[in-house]
Structure 1
Amino acid sequence: MTMASVAFEHAGAPRYTWHEVLAVALAQGLPVAAWRLPLQTEVQLCVSFQPLATQEVPSLENSAFGFLFCPFQVNVTHPNLFVKADLSFSSLTGSLRSAPDAPQEAVEAFYQLLHNRQQDRMAPWHTAAPLSTKSDRTEETFKAAVSLAIDLITAEAMEKVVLSRSNKVALPETFTLAKAYEKMLVSYPNAFVSLVSLPQTGTWMGASPEILVSVDQQQVFKTVALAGTQPLCEDGSTANAIWRQKEIEEQGMVERYILSCFKKLRLREYTEVGPRTVIAGNLMHLRTDYKVDLKEVDFPTLGSDMLQLLHPTSAVCGLPKEPALEFIQSNEGYDRSYFSGFLGPVNSPAGTYLFVNLRCMQLLPDAAVLYAGAGITGDSSPEKEWLETGHKMQTILKILSDF
């Protein structure tokens, strides 16, 4: 039995909104995470009264209910973090629930502030010191790195590498955290829409199209291969999508990577659907879905085992993983931090859902750092990869431009 199944509400508690719960968490300087699963309407939050311990990723199957926030590469500056759900909220019921082991004094103080607070003010979000790196690549330097990658791929030093860049933009004067998250929820119904504000890492928002690992209430494991990118067709449908050989091969690499992980675990019983064209905001991708019914396949630790094997996937790192990662660290020119890491609820009432942290931004006091990457293969064009990263940044720029 998970913590979520034994958490309880205060008797006669009033209905709240996620805006109110978020505001009180920030006012108290507490770690808070909010999320909405794809194609759902329920917004969930969890708040922790405990320090965010630097730790290994917990066993998904035995973990308490909480929210994982993990970087692309773990280091002293960017540890794996787990926001234990001492308090949890659902917009469907408007109820705030406390875990049995949550410190009661802290719970009561939170409820008191929630009851008394003025609704028109929001405390500042958590911010972390920006990294002092060459994070804003120019078009020239990014294309040069892509050209070098193509040369190494042609020389068979690797098959694929994912190169990314970041871009810092000023926040609009009218920007508010709650309104930005609301806009993201409305704009991207097909995405995993998240807002994570933690003392150690600052505040991140995103609308990710890519699930890494999930195990739902019916004990069905899922992962996806997602690769290939092009702008959405003018008619807004996928019927007329035409894919180049480069994108088809890139998608095939991600598929083979997932199947190689299954092979390492000696897993043969799975279903595979795809590839098919899917819409993610202003873009289209190729996607293949993989499912395993854990009620029929005796593999209770499949979620944890696949998470360990998959991350970082070939969709955010490359193939083979080792030379691709070495190339990224030597040539990308900045620290990705939590971009292209993974995040999501663990052992929530709905299950465990971990997504790759894509289409995201990190919020500074008066600016936002946007991130985007592109898969480089032997058929890549430096010009097109630069444009692709720009298209991906539009997912977040659209939210900022609406203010």
Structure 2
Amino acid sequence: MPGNVLRWPNPAQAVPERLRQLVAFALLHKLPVALWRLPNATAPQLCLSFSAEAALTGLPPALEATAPAGFTFFPFRDSDHNPALFLPADVLFDAARPNELRVQEAAAGAPDILPQLREYLASSQNTAASSPILPWAVSPQPAPHAATQEEYTALVERGVRAIEKGKVQKVVSSRAARWPLPADFDALAAFTALQERYPRAFVSLVSAPGAGTWLGATPEVLVELTADGRFCTMALAGTQPLPPDHQPQHAIWRQKEIEEQALVARYIVSCFKQLRLREYEETGPRTVVAGELLHLRTDFSVNLRAVPFPTLATDMLRLLHPTSAVGGMPRQAALEFLQKHEGYDRAYYSGFLGPVNLPAPGVTQLFVNLRCFQVRPQEAILYAGTGLTADSDPAKEWQETELKLTTAGAILT
């Protein structure tokens, strides 16, 4: 991305200290900040915006190579309660190049904020950066209701009845759980722990006024544009635990999970058809590992150098979200069912997030915000869902949510 490159004022400073310093500056100035580590990568990256107001978009991002670079954080449903965010990359830090800061000096707010940032980074007295207690953004919305097992059982039973009556083919029910934070909880340390525990996941920490603070380690790609000119997406559904010493290729899938995953894959194909695109590659389904869980996954790819379709990623993003893997099918009927019966606000859970046109124009990786939790002053709000079909068993669906809660929740115990 274009911009001026600044040298880090203290070359001896370790990368975790640099990240903490940048995050502390953003939080102290009530600016939005995002920290992430891509799947199978080792170096985290950070995006900081000079203006909280500039991050409020209300719209999904444009993904063309000519669109702005930044980090998007989009809710399950766009609303005044959960604003759609796009954090312009006014400051970009990549731990792979730890001595560099890429800065947009012409960005909104830069004349006021940039001199303060330079001074802050050069100072050895910024004690806020060395403290584990940072002023993380807190959502202004009340904490959501946490469903009991009886309440979730009733929701699953309603979903199965709706499927049997032909109102929906599939619905993805979910619930929130409220866990106390450890007394010494440090969100940046938790981000590091998630990186170490889930090397194949997209690990993120986002803190922004109006949205609050969210941590997660998601396995699911929503939309990807690669440096070699490919568009990619995936159908990820079906869940079972990964037993110790068990190989993924030995997994046996029930008809319920096979059907659930096939519905998601068929929905992606239907989106291609809506755009009159036939030149795509489909691979799978295959069994993949995500933390302590196994899923079924089908990958889809389009060679954009052979198929000139410059707006494909943007068009597919707007057709896909929310995907049938997090809402259901038909989409509108399933979303109306959830609005009526789910009983809480998902906020940014099962929305999407990720870097856009970073680290270079034409490179974008967006992920479905699963296996995540919201950080509040004394507790974490965790989220988990299950795809329902006519064969769903309420007790097994509850147990599946319990398994999914432990993915991100493992670092809270």
Q: TM-score, normalised by structure 1?
A: 0.95
Aligned to 1:370: 382
* Counterpart Cα distance in 1 of 2:287 and 2:8: 48
Aligned to 1:18: 19
Range 312-321 or range 231-240, more displaced: 231-240
Where 1:10 maps in the other structure, the secondary structure is strand
| 1:268 and 2:278 aligned | yes
Of 47, 62, 67, which residue of structure 2 is paired with 1:63?
67
Range 203-212 or range 46-55, more displaced: 46-55
Letter in 2 for 1:366: Q
Letter in 2 for 1:194: S
* Counterpart Cα distance in 1 of 2:249 and 2:56: 47
Contact 2:20 / 2:130 at 8 angstroms: preserved in 1?
no
Of 318, 339, 353, which residue of structure 1 is paired with 2:365?
353
CA shift for structure 1 position 27: 2.4
Aligned to 2:5: 9
CA shift for structure 1 position 59: 1.6
Of 205, 215, 226, which residue of structure 1 is paired with 2:225?
215
Aligned to 2:117: 110
Contact 2:9 / 2:121 at 8 angstroms: preserved in 1?
no
Where does structure 1 lack aligned partners over 5 or more consecutive residues? none
RMSD, matched Cα: 1.4
Letter in 1 for 2:137: H
Q: 1:317 to 1:12 in 2, by over 3 A?
A: closer
Contact 1:18 / 1:43 at 8 angstroms: preserved in 2?
no
Letter in 2 for 1:8: N
Q: How does 1:33-182 map to 2 (within 5 A)?
A: 33-50=34-51, 51=53, 52-61=55-64, 62-94=66-98, 95-102=100-107, 103-116=110-123, 117-118=126-127, 119-122=129-132, 123-131=134-142, 133=144, 135-182=145-192
1:224-268 CA-to-partner distances (Å, cap 9, x unmatched) read 000000001221431321100000000100000000000000111
CA shift for structure 1 position 14: 4.2
CA shift for structure 1 position 101: 1.8
Q: TM-score, normalised by structure 2?
A: 0.93
* Counterpart Cα distance in 2 of 1:314 and 1:22: 35
Q: How many residues align?
A: 396
Where does structure 2 lack aligned partners over 5 or more consecutive residues? none
| 1:248 and 2:258 aligned | yes
Identical aligned pairs, as a percentage? 48
Range 257-266 or range 55-64, more displaced: 55-64
* Counterpart Cα distance in 2 of 1:272 and 1:291: 7
Range 221-230 or range 343-352, more displaced: 343-352
CA shift for structure 1 position 120: 2.0
Range 52-61 or range 141-150, more displaced: 52-61
1:172-212 CA-to-partner distances (Å, cap 9, x unmatched) read 01111111111001001110001000011110010011010
Q: 1:165 to 1:278 in 2, by over 3 A?
A: same
